[in-house]
Structure 1
Amino acid sequence: MRIDISQQVILPLLGAACVLVIWSIVSVSVAPDLPSPGRTWRESQRYVLEPFFKDGEMNQGIGRLAFYSLVRVGKGFALALAIGTPIGFLLGLSRRFHQSFDPIVQFMRPISPLAWLPLGLVIFQKSEPAAIFTIALCAMWPTVINTAVGVRSISPDYLNVGRVLKLSRFKTLTRIVIPATLPYVFTGYRLSLGLAWLVIVAAEMLTGTPGVGGFLWQEYNSLVYSHIILSVITIGAIGFVLDRLMGLVEARVRID
């Protein structure tokens, strides 16, 4: 029990303390323009202690800005799953579909969100739908690939049982294929969520829309470096929480 407490609480706190010490040393000796931890807190505490205040479109509490970003991520992530999951099943189930569209998937998968966002702006003429379009297009590929791999990894014995029981295609899909593939699918969902959070920060920085990314870019242009650090910490903290939550769901699916 004591070992578990040490590993889960004390060691992470020691790691955080080391980061703060290194940060302080760098701000004093290497990069004088970099705010120290103390200065960062003094200049940013209102955004943390009053997380939902609003004095203007971009001058808002960090909680309100994070909420804007999370709403966009939620919409783009849901769209990515709605498109990516069926494509993944089709790639895994149909050899012809795989031969026809797998090259397209592999071609589009490595394209940067910085390339898709301008195209989204051309198509939709507004930053909000363009950001959601970019999130969905960039975040769907882990779901597509993991779902397809999961379908192809199903033991032939399971499918043979379905044939012996004379199950219809629909029942084979719902009773054999989907349950056997779920662990792979949720691993893809977890990776897709992480990508969606990465993409929204870049999208907000480029479009200047209210959110953590837009706030970060505004404060960079205003040379308020402590707020840049606040934004970076917020991005990392939210990404960490999202990953842990999806990890719990993934672990539950694997156990079931």
Structure 2
Amino acid sequence: MTAPLKIRRRRSRFEPQPLIKFAYEQIKALIPPVIAIVIFLVIWQLLTNSPDANLPSPIRTIKDTWELIIDPFFDNGGIDKGLFWQLFTSLQRVALGFSLAAIVGIGLGILVGTNRIMYQALDPIFQVLRTVPPLAWLPISLAGFQQANPSAIFVIFITAIWPIIINTTEGVRQIPQDYNNVSRVLRLNRQTYFFKILFPATVPYIFTGLKIGIGLSWLAIIAAEMLIGGVGIGFFIWDAWNSSRVSDIIIAVIYVGIVGLLLDKFITFLGNLVVSEEK
């Protein structure tokens, strides 16, 4: 009798080279911005090192705001809250106003883009209204809603909706005519045409509008909260100015910039995810 053959299973070996290469690339990519930040901090320190300087130095800023940095979650009632709650409140307003603007803006943009008469009638109005500064809408919203929080959300909505509408409309109008001709030849129904032709071709334009809209939303809420008061990072900055806490303002501005960057990256991530799904 012949001995049974022994099947040798090849052991999978863990190869660290790809991970090392990835880590090296990430560290290499971080070096230029880190160097730039260090140079900026050194210049800032040198320019504000004098006792007569109007602005605090980086070291002084950290010392003055150390409690805010290490404990962003405190809540002493009223407007005396940590930076986390100030940012969280502002983000809640932005999320609601921007979501409404995205729903209405995308829907209206598709409707206007697919109808030539509506485009000719409404596009000039959109072009005019998009140039109105966000704070110009605040008195109108306060007069209409008579409350601060709905007024701030309306300012977010009215600020973000114009780039969403305009970019979505342009995306629909840029669909190649050949695609529309093929849909007519194949007699596609509206639902199939929307999901197979219109929406995939318009997605890049939609997310371009969403990226512009989220940036404008974050800018608008900071400015609006300075006027409406209450809890929010915008009013925190304004209250710090009234109390001559310049270091608090600097830290808050840094937080605002970081959150704005994260919002932009989040919309970019969603856009890439949707585009990859469509492919």
Helix, strand or coil at the partner of 1:188: helix
Q: How many residues align?
A: 256
Deviation at 1:91, TM superposition (A): 2.0
**Is 1:51 the counterpart of 2:69 in the alignment?**
no
Counterpart of 2:211 in structure 1 is 190
Deviations 1:188-227 (A, max 9, x none): 1111111111110001011112111110000000001000
Percent identical pairs in the alignment equals 42
Distance of 1:122 and 1:14 partners within structure 2: 49
* TM-score, normalised via structure 1 length: 0.95
Helix, strand or coil at the partner of 2:49: helix
Deviation at 1:117, TM superposition (A): 0.6
Counterpart of 1:130 in structure 2 is 151
CA contact (8 A) 1:75 1:132 kept: yes
**Is 1:99 the counterpart of 2:120 in the alignment?**
yes
Counterpart of 1:32 in structure 2 is 53
What is the RMSD computed on CA atoms of the aligned residues?
1.7
1:114-125 → structure 2 map (5 Å cutoff): 114-125=135-146
Helix, strand or coil at the partner of 2:144: helix
2:265 to 241, 244, 247: 244
Q: Which AA in structure 2 matches 1:232?
A: V
**Is 1:60 the counterpart of 2:81 in the alignment?**
yes
Deviation at 1:3, TM superposition (A): 7.5
CA distance 1:41–1:105, change in 2 (3 Å) = same
CA contact (8 A) 1:183 1:253 kept: no
Counterpart of 1:86 in structure 2 is 107
Deviation at 1:240, TM superposition (A): 0.9
Counterpart of 1:228 in structure 2 is 249
More helix by share: 1
Q: Which AA in structure 1 matches 2:78?
A: E
Structure 2 unmatched ranges of 5 or more: 1-20
CA contact (8 A) 2:200 2:275 kept: no
Distance of 1:180 and 1:229 partners within structure 2: 43
**Is 1:212 the counterpart of 2:251 in the alignment?**
no
Deviations 1:120-147 (A, max 9, x none): 0000000100000000001111111111
**Larger CA Rg, structure 1 vs 2:** 2
